């Protein structure tokens, strides 16, 4: 028996999954905390389809390493190079669309990132041993009428906690949490869209519904949804570390599968985090709703309570003071944050280095360590980010930020999950 580090490595070794096996539904290796930051960032970009539009040299430049170094790092940790990882991702996404939708094959090829139908046909045949048409004929379930993707994850997942956390912070007009589902407005492929994410009651997977998105945006939408709900987490690895500490052991036992709630848009989360400095969650939500109503773009085809697209960095950076009705210091911080992102001086995208982004955030006057750590934790998906200065965390663990940081050191590399359990402990103690 041989164990290989990735599906791409298996394909490189000449192996092919049987038609019952679904390697494309497994959480991607970018979630593995033991991988170097460069590996995780490279995989996030590959998973979002970066190499479908750009050469490997461009990916290396984004990550500030040489192309040769990038190939070596990925081969060492995943057993395959960037092009092979991208090829496996394309084939997996194509199979998901073939199985779960009635999209024409040309649209499936475009959404999966193929530049030609011929290449699409060749890679599907090589990967699955049948043509795309034969693969669709063999599916066991009818396609959904809307574009609905089923995103698998490793159970357990505490959906009740995740949805409650998002509901308390949902920006009116932009987000809703109703009927056990999270929905929001979004920009996909330059077009306004609406996405909805809900748990599948019968299987360990999330159902992602996409409405109004442009062609070629399914991969991006799926990647964002996975980050939002932390679908790539490995709960067994997290809980094996945290369960050993009495400070969080009770929460770990009572709430298996507690995830770190993510964000659809890290910039939106960053703005929300700045608005939430030293105020209640409700007050921050009100401020974010006011900002969206004044500076956001109305949704052309509004659906119920979803009416507005969150403002772009340019819109906030150029907004007059009257549109940023908040204390002067907070207004300067929000405007500086938006300006840095708009100018490209601060990277909060999928390739962002969490440590570099944290340093960039701390250079903005009015943004402190708590805000930077919170953004890294939820927006940049750093599983070891830990807001040690958080008042609730300090109250539960006792001591100042430095003492709390030392106390949580044994939880590495899962301190972000420890923070969520501490917040949950404090909430349940009320």
Which residues are designated catalytic? 390
Structure tokens at 92: 């997996």
Structure tokens at 386: 């830990």
Where are the alpha helices (H) located in 26-131, listed in sequence order? 37-47, 50-53, 56-63, 67-78, 82-100, 105-112, 117-128
**Partner residues linked to 197 by β-bridges:** 182, 208
C-beta of residue 267 within 8 angstroms of C-beta of residue 187: no
Q: Give the helix/strand (H/E) hosting 149.
A: strand 147-152
- Give the C-alpha separation, 38 to 36, whole Å: 5
- Give the C-alpha separation, 141 to 150, whole Å: 12
Which 3 state secondary structure label does DSSP give 189?
Answer: coil
Angle at 269 between CA 264 and CA 270, to 5 degrees: 140
- Give the C-alpha separation, 79 to 181, whole Å: 38
Q: Give the helix/strand (H/E) hosting 177.
A: strand 175-178
Beta sheet of 175-178, edge-to-edge order: 147-152, 205-211, 191-199, 181-188, 175-178
Where are the alpha helices (H) located in 214-362, listed in sequence order? 218-229, 235-242, 246-254, 266-275, 281-295, 313-317, 328-343, 354-362
């Amino acid at each position: 028996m041989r164990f290989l580090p990735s599906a791409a490595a298996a394909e490189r070794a000449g192996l092919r999954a049987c038609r019952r096996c679904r390697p494309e539904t497994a959480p991607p290796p970018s979630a593995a905390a033991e991988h170097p930051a460069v590996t995780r960032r490279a995989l996030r970009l590959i998973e979002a389809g970066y190499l479908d539009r750009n050469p490997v040299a461009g990916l290396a430049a984004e990550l500030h390493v040489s192309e040769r170094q990038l190939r070596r790092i990925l081969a060492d940790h995943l057993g395959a190079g960037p092009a092979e990882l991208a090829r496996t991702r394309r084939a997996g996404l194509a199979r998901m669309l073939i199985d779960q939708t009635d999209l024409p094959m040309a649209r499936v090829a475009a959404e999966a990132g193929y530049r030609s139908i011929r290449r699409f046909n060749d890679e599907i045949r090589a990967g699955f041993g049948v043509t795309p048409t034969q693969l669709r004929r063999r599916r066991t379930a009818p396609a959904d009428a809307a574009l609905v993707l089923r995103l698998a994850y490793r159970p357990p997942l505490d959906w009740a906690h995740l949805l409650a956390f998002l509901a308390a912070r949902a920006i009116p007009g932009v987000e809703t949490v109703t009927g056990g589902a999270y929905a929001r407005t979004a920009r996909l492929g330059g077009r306004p869209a609406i996405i909805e994410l809900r748990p599948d009651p019968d299987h360990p997977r999330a159902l992602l519904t996409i409405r109004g998105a442009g062609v070629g945006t399914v991969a991006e939408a799926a990647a964002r949804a996975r980050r939002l709900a932390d679908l790539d987490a490995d709960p067994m690895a997290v809980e094996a570390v945290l369960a050993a500490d009495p400070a969080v052991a009770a929460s770990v036992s009572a709430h298996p599968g507690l995830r770190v709630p993510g964000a659809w848009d890290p910039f939106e989360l960053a703005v929300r985090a700045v608005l939430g400095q030293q105020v209640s969650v409700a007050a921050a939500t009100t401020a974010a709703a006011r900002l969206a109503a004044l500076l956001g773009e109305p949704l052309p085809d509004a659906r119920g309570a979803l009416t507005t697209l969150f403002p772009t960095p340019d819109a906030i950076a150029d907004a007059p003071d009257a549109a940023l009705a908040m204390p002067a210091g907070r207004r300067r911080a929000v405007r500086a944050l938006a300006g840095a992102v708009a100018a490209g001086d601060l990277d909060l995208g999928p390739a962002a280095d969490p440590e570099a982004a944290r340093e960039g955030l701390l250079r903005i006057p009015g943004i402190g360590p708590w805000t930077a750590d919170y953004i890294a934790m939820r927006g940049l998906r750093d599983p070891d980010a830990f807001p040690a200065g958080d008042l609730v965390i300090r109250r539960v663990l006792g001591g100042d930020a430095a003492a709390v940081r030392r106390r949580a050191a044994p939880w590495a590399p899962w301190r972000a999950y420890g923070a969520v359990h501490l917040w949950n402990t404090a909430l349940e103690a009320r």
